[in-house]
A and B are shown apart, each in its own frame.
Chain A
């Protein structure tokens, strides 16, 4: 899948511009200055060193989250409820992160990350299992699992995993040996994320397993004809998608939060959907979008303090960007002939 820089790349850029224009009108309608708001956005998100560091840290998380969705999309699965897998992965990572004492960082971090990914895989894989064996569409099952995971995670944080003697509900701090270090102030997570994107791209391009998943995503009956087990691919696709989502939660805990409170993680899985769709289910092509959204997200609180605009403006802007980038009318205006993306169609298993 080659990305044509010319017209096809113009579509997302035009979408951003249109979204910003509509956002400006709405900000002005609320009695704030859109120029000031966007100024804060640019400075805090992309210009200052500290802003850039925060952006890249956020972008790293979002790349992985987008990869989780992308992995599913390529196999014809829409893991719309990745959020639940992110939460389970985050709590699992945190638990290993504060519980295992006295081991070196190079063992502690991988163990905790693998454990987090495994928990995410369990949740995603369950949805895959339901689809493969019972014909339950993953869009509904993963949304339901979201709420179920939110409840379980909430319960555990309030009881078994709670840091006692504290007024607010939270887990103990993750030990230093499980915190991802920064390199010259820049987040390691971003590098891991880019490497992961390259690996996943390679998996789909060069490995037989990746080719099998890709084939199932494009044409299920031809896959079966060609000797690929569709059911196995569905379970595997959801399992890996869930694992990556769980990994996202773990990495965010390790690099940013330091302990677990469910609210920290809100929106990560859903931003992943936006990023995957903007990147048209291509592991490499989603990176610029993730950096852009990372910048918006890291400037989110500053926009309220410094410009007085509700931080939810970011949600709105992202929604508009997604709308204009995916709906074909802007693309038609620009005469790009990029095809619209398809996931699966119908409720059929």
Chain B
């Protein structure tokens, strides 16, 4: 059972303990608990989605450290298109399209030209930062940020209802559907089986008549679409504006969460929510003046947390065996 879902006993215990703490807090003070959990969701969701980009790519054997750049570029185009057309849906569509185009460049570099994948991702990031900072114009706004609303019945479910299904915008709810959908795709569909095979042993897929290049190209570009979606999500809904370098390393945090979640969509989602909760909690503590820790140390926490998380988990997890290696047909 545990092996099947690739869950370690300690992860199970951690989950149970956290659930216990949550229930206890919920009973003790429902309102504050709900607001902390909801804001944890808001912190965690973009990271969870960004981690999906990493999972889509790495499960097929391509390391993508260009998530940062993908989000930056698509947030940029999405925001300005929405501002220009006065239409948020158009903005989101353009953001997704930008994500696909960006990842197409990444896919060409890594899969077709067989460049070093880490360097390729770095180039994407530098390109995105150069383009967006040069083309950036101050003072643009998007028409009317979408309203925050509750989902009728689901929002009333005790404990989890409030956290997951209330006081969010439509894109966040969409993301909530997207993550389990990716999990289903990865573990239940033919495409998912092929993707995992290509990421573990491309030779096995190739000899079974599955085109390694095609599987990788499509996965990377699908990942790019999600990256575009996250960029649009942040700029059009979560923050409602574009600012230079708004990603601020979150693409890399997402990769850490992906590793912590063992390249499993649900695992990475759990890791991201945990991360968001930690951040929400520290912000709350700051607001209520529980501590007088300087502001800088609070902003530092997520990064420290990321390093700690990796130090605990990185050496023990097994990445897709072919991640980072371009595929050469075996010769002679």
Contact = CB atoms under 8 A, between A and B. Distances in A.
Interface stretch (B110-118, B182-190, B232-240): B110-118
Nearest to A270: B126
B136 A312 contact: yes
Given A144-B249, A315-B134, A130 B296 contact: no
B116 A349 contact: no
Contacts of B24: none
Contacts of A164: none
A320 B127 contact: yes
Contacts of A313: 134
A316 B133 contact: yes
Contacts of B63: 345-347
Contacts of B133: 310, 312, 315-316
A82 to B, nearest CB: 12
A326 interface: yes
A17 to B, nearest CB: 17
A312 B259 CA distance: 34
A136 interface: yes
A340 interface: yes
A134 B311 contact: yes
A198 interface: no
A93 interface: no
Contacts of B249: 143-144, 146-147
A130 B129 contact: no
A60 B294 CA distance: 36
A139 B134 contact: no
A140 B310 contact: yes
Interface stretch (A40-48, A148-156, A173-181, A245-253): A148-156
Interface string B82-101: 00000000000000000000
A155 B296 contact: yes
Given A143-B252, A328-B113, A328-B115, A148 B130 contact: no
Contacts of A341: 116, 119
Q: Say which size band chain A's interface belongs to.
A: 35 or more
A338 to B, nearest CB: 12
B306 A140 contact: yes
Contact of A139 (B118, B126, B129): B118
B252 A139 contact: yes
Q: Which of A140, A273, A341 has the most CB of B within 10 A?
A: A140
Interface in A292-335: 310, 312-313, 315-320, 322-323, 326-329
Q: Say which size band chain B's interface belongs to.
A: 35 or more
Interface stretch (B173-181, B201-209, B317-325): B317-325
A20 to B, nearest CB: 14
Interface stretch (B6-14, B265-273, B275-283, B297-305): B297-305
A141 B130 contact: no
A141 B133 CA distance: 25
A344 interface: yes
A26 B300 CA distance: 37
Interface in B284-332: 294, 296-297, 299-300, 303-304, 306-307, 310-312, 314-316, 319, 323-325
Contacts of A117: none
Contacts of B303: 144-145, 147-148, 151
Interface in B5-25: none
28 contacts: A80-B122, A130-B307, A134-B315, A135-B314, A136-B310, A139-B65, A139-B252, A140-B255, A140-B306, A144-B249, A144-B304, A147-B303, A148-B300, A154-B296, A158-B296, A159-B294, A312-B134, A316-B133, A319-B130, A319-B131, A327-B108, A327-B109, A328-B115, A340-B116, A345-B117, A345-B118, A345-B325, A349-B315
Given A144-B306, A310-B134, 19 more contacts: A78-B118, A78-B119, A80-B65, A134-B310, A135-B315, A135-B316, A146-B249, A148-B307, A154-B296, A310-B133, A310-B136, A312-B134, A319-B130, A319-B131, A320-B127, A327-B109, A340-B116, A347-B324, A349-B314
Interface of B: 63, 65, 108-109, 113-119, 122-123, 126-127, 129-131, 133-136, 248-249, 252-253, 255-256, 259, 294, 296-297, 299-300, 303-304, 306-307, 310-312, 314-316, 319, 323-325
